[in-house]
Amino acid sequence: MKKILLLFVCFFPIGVNALDMPEINSEAAIVYDVNEDTVILEKNSDEVRSIASLTKIMTVLTAIENIDDFSASVTITNEMLAGIYWNASVAGLKVGDTVTYMDLLYAAILPSGADATQVLAYAVSGSVDAFVAKMNELALRIGVTNTHYVNTTGLDQDGAYSTAHDQLLILSYALKNPIFRTVYTTKSYTLSNGLQVEATISKYNEILNLDTSKIIGSKTGNTTNAGLCMSALFYHEDHEMLLITLGAQVIEDVPYNLIDTLTLIDNVNESYVIPKEKTVTTASIVSSDVVVSSNINYNTIIFLIILFLLVTVFLFRRVRRRKRK
């Protein structure tokens, strides 16, 4: 019986082509094959951490789900921009500017504009606190269990936390929304007031001038508590892949979040073999008018064979015990 159980473990696959994690600076990371619904790389992905401006993914997603007319205008007031930290990344919005809701989505994601996220909160919910409550409600609906938001920006504040795994779930959910996907995968955009914004990946890459063409969409983050963080969408062959890195150290302004992201993408492209579906034709009925074939998954056949062997051994031993009696 033990030998048969061992065969079951060896021949009935449980996971798919998981890779070894390469050496990276980030404290936590996760890479996910969307098509296979499989995590292929992970490091401390359930460790609770600060996530910096990856928070803005949820901010923009919450706004999208609560906006009826994306072309409607919003005039920016003093209240909307009050209290933004001096060191926060901003898009450059000013009091008196009139922009559309769609403009604000791009201004929040591409340059990681804290000003845009706060304007969205006031325009959608009337206050930051009311909007943040909606963010946490949406997080629960998505199904994450180790995430809590306290602001729209991701700036360091007590009570804000998440995990790489939770952020992966949120990004996966968000990318199913066509408006979010379009914003997330845009590299530059001109707002209706003439203000031009571009993705922060360009800023992070100014020092090293790395090839970032494989990154289809991204959101970066950087605070004292969170370190350098990044989310990314890329492709391996025809498979869509999602990636989250958290907690890279800040050393001499080197963008280790971007370096780690490119390291993980290269590792996947070099080592990840996309599993191929194996089928075995078990029956074929051919007549003059119709051909009927039945294809059963290879793993299913192995499972049925082993199940049959287990049942056979059980019945055989039961019969032997009765004879001894």
203 Cβ neighbours under 8 A, 6+ residues apart: none
293 counts as catalytic: no
Instruction: Concatenate the DSSP letters of all residues of 39-81 into one string.
Output: EEEEESTT--B--GGGHHHHHHHHHHTT-S-TT-EEE--HHHH
Q: Please identify which of the residues 56, 162, 218, 231 carries the catalytic annotation.
A: 56
Give the single-character DSSP code of 252.
Answer: T
* 283 Cα distance to chain centroid: 42
Q: Are residues 60 and 118 in contact, defined by beta-carbon separation less than 8 angstroms? A: no
Which tokens in the block code for residue 273? 């073999």
53 counts as catalytic: yes
Among 98, 25, 103, 89, residue whose Cα is nearest residue 55: 89
Which tokens in the block code for residue 218? 């991204």
d(Cα 105, Cα 61) in Å, to the nearest integer?
A: 9
231 counts as catalytic: no
For tokens 């119709």, what's the residue? 290
Q: Please identify which of the residues 53, 125, 162, 218 carries the catalytic annotation.
A: 53
Among 134, 119, 129, 128, residue whose Cα is nearest residue 80: 119
Q: Please identify which of the residues 26, 112, 125, 162 carries the catalytic annotation.
A: 112
Indicate the SS3 state at residue 236. strand
Q: At what angle do helices 164-174 and 55-64 cross, to 10 degrees?
A: 30
Residues designated as active site: 53, 56, 112
